[in-house]
Amino acid sequence: MTAVATTAALALTAGAVLTGAHATTHATAYATAPATSGQAAGWSAAWAASPQRPSAGFKGNWSEAGFDGQTVRQVVRVTEGGTRARIRLSNAYGASPLRIASATVARTTKGAAVDKGSVRRLTFDGKRSASVPAGGQLASDAAGLRLDPFESVTVTLHLAGTTGPATFHAQSFATSYRADGDHAADAGGEAFGESTESWYYLAGVDVSGPGPARRDGVVLFGDSITDGFASTTDRNRRWSDALAERLTEAGDQRPVLNSGIGGNMVLNDSAWYGDKGLGRFQRDALDLPGVGTVLVLEGVNDIGFSETDEPTYKPAPTVSARQLIDGHRELIRAAHAKGVKAVGATLLPLGGSDHYGPHAAAVSDAFNTWVRTSGEYDAYVDLDKALTDPGDPERIAPKYDSGDHLHPNDAGYRAMARAVELGEL
């Protein structure tokens, strides 16, 4: 990845700018209660997931049915440590208030089981129960729980009433569990007989410690490639995981947060694939505690859905290079307005995939040229170059291909992390 000084204009064949493509800023802040110690907490996001509307998704999930007198247990891995922890909950797409009867956080042991001595009852403004308004979000009070970077954490929510359709994150590539009744404080996992690969209501885990809050967190913002599609479930093999591990190995441990949504687009909303990148950028990236850099990898669905025979996103507008670039310019401006460094990424090769066709190929090439030469991003990482097949530059190298010629495998995600010039972050 190299910062580029040139600002020469790039001649592109461009269509009209999409109407309504400008970002709608999410200004809603997380409601936070005072730290239980009575001192101001300097929070850093240690894990994050981007909320989505309830939908059928690619695999069976519980979002459309919601929950009724049940407990949901979710396992995440933090990339930052601290002496206190809190959770952030989202009811962004709920039609009614979300009532949390009780919640706990604990260190994970195996599956749905947790370390008994680490179970902490969470409170919200000093109370064990809470209500998250429809369309709203809420952070818990601080819980005294020491966590190390790369430790797995289990968050358990008891939902005593009927929730209705649930705000969720569709593709977690991690197992979540459900039980009937109240099992929030259980150490064992025996009651949790159902499982799914999605996260529900949980948007973040933050940590704090005795020192000042960090401002060097890195957010990876994008679509299914950032989300970790085709990575090994429950093994933390997304490229955000690989980048966090590489930073630590290089002596520069810091939080790396994943704000990918499978199928997401820069310029258009989707019922299945989340609010457009322009609309969710503030909420899902810039507003996360402790963020200093955002790395954007997005656009393949904007240009690829129009090439598919049976697109799951309909209608699938034909997006020009100029329209996609203008969308990225808005993301850059929003990051800079927040004092956050903006790093761009070239789109990966997509030859042989269901997103590939003459238009997508031409726009991808033009967009990648802009990322490399315009100097509008503060720096860039050339993921196209890092994963391309030397024998066919239109395709992902076979050793990095998950099999659909669009998404990397575990080795491909590690190669993406290796392509980043760490000093540019």
- DSSP-derived secondary structure for 232-252: PTTS--SHHHHHHHHHHHTT-
Residue 7 pLDDT > 50: no
Six token digits for residue 302: 């904007």
CATH number at residue 335: 3.40.50.1110
Predicted pLDDT of residue 5: 29
One domain for residues 145 and 221? no
Q: How far apart are CA 280 and CA 285, in angstroms?
A: 8
In a domain, 224, yes or no: yes
CA dist 136 → 23, 94, 129, 139, 399 (Å): 19, 8, 16, 11, 43
The string of pLDDT tens digits covering residues 126-144 is 999 999 999 999 999 999 9
Predicted pLDDT of residue 275: 97
In a domain, 412, yes or no: yes
One domain for residues 322 and 383? yes
pLDDT-based confidence at residue 41 (cuts at 50, 70, 90): low
Beta-carbon contacts of 284 under 8 Å, excluding residues fewer than 6 positions away, are 48, 50, 51, 219, 221, 259
Six token digits for residue 217: 């967190």
pLDDT-based confidence at residue 20 (cuts at 50, 70, 90): very low
Ranges 111-115, 214-218, 332-336, 406-410: which has the least confidence: 214-218
Q: How far apart are CA 244 and CA 417, in angstroms?
A: 9
Predicted pLDDT of residue 313: 73
Six token digits for residue 249: 């190995």
Six token digits for residue 95: 């039609």
One domain for residues 149 and 104? yes
Choose the final residue of a domain: 157, 184, 207: 207
Torsion angles phi and psi, residue 90, rounded to 5: -125, 130
In a domain, 9, yes or no: no
Predicted pLDDT of residue 315: 73
One domain for residues 171 and 263? no
Range of the domain at 109: 44-207
Torsion angles phi and psi, residue 45, rounded to 5: -65, 130
* SS3 labels along 20-82: CCCCCCCCCCCECCCCCCCCCCCCEEEEECCCECCCCCCCCCCCCCCCEEEEEEEEEECCCCE
How many alpha carbons fall within 13 Å on the CB side of residue 210?
A: 1
One domain for residues 153 and 78? yes
Closest CA to 167 of 100, 274, 91, 268: 91
Instruction: Give the mean model confidence (pLDDT) for residues 211-227.
Output: 93
Residue 4 pLDDT > 50: no
How many alpha carbons fall within 13 Å on the CB side of residue 299?
A: 31
Predicted pLDDT of residue 27: 31
The string of pLDDT tens digits covering residues 78-110 is 999 999 999 999 999 999 999 999 999 999 999
The DSSP annotation for 142-161 comes to PEEEEE-TT-EEEEEEEEEE
One domain for residues 151 and 286? no
One domain for residues 219 and 202? no
In a domain, 413, yes or no: yes
One domain for residues 281 and 399? yes
In a domain, 352, yes or no: yes
At how many degrees (to 10) do helices 358-373 and 321-337 cross? 40
One domain for residues 166 and 221? no
Residue 38 pLDDT > 50: no
Looking at every residue in the chain, the average pLDDT score rounds to 90
Residue 248 pLDDT > 60: yes
One domain for residues 176 and 246? no
Total tally of structural domains belonging to the chain: 2
One domain for residues 268 and 304? yes
Residue 181 pLDDT > 50: yes
Choose the final residue of a domain: 151, 186, 207: 207
Predicted pLDDT of residue 34: 35
The string of pLDDT tens digits covering residues 59-85 is 899 999 999 999 999 999 999 999 999
In a domain, 308, yes or no: yes
Residue 166 pLDDT > 50: yes
Q: How many residues does the chain have?
A: 425
* pLDDT cut 70: percent of the chain above it: 90
In a domain, 36, yes or no: no
Predicted pLDDT of residue 26: 33
Is the CB of residue 160 less than 8 Å from the CB of residue 101? yes
Residue 184 pLDDT > 50: yes
Instruction: Give the mean model confidence (pLDDT) for residues 212-241.
Output: 96
The string of pLDDT tens digits covering residues 354-367 is 999 999 999 999 99
H or E stretch covering 223 = none
Is the CB of residue 177 less than 8 Å from the CB of residue 155? no
In a domain, 25, yes or no: no
DSSP 284: I
Residue 214 pLDDT > 90: no
The pTM score is 0.90
Q: Compute the radius of gyration of the chain from its Cα atoms.
A: 21
Predicted pLDDT of residue 9: 29
The DSSP annotation for 361-414 comes to HHHHHHHHHHHHHS--SSEEE-HHHHHEETTEEEEE-GGGB-SSSSSB-HHHHH
One domain for residues 58 and 184? yes
Choose the final residue of a domain: 177, 207, 237: 207
The string of pLDDT tens digits covering residues 371-400 is 999 999 999 999 999 999 999 999 999 999
pLDDT-based confidence at residue 210 (cuts at 50, 70, 90): confident
pLDDT-based confidence at residue 310 (cuts at 50, 70, 90): low
Beta-carbon contacts of 20 under 8 Å, excluding residues fewer than 6 positions away, are none
Instruction: Give the mean model confidence (pLDDT) for residues 105-131.
Output: 98
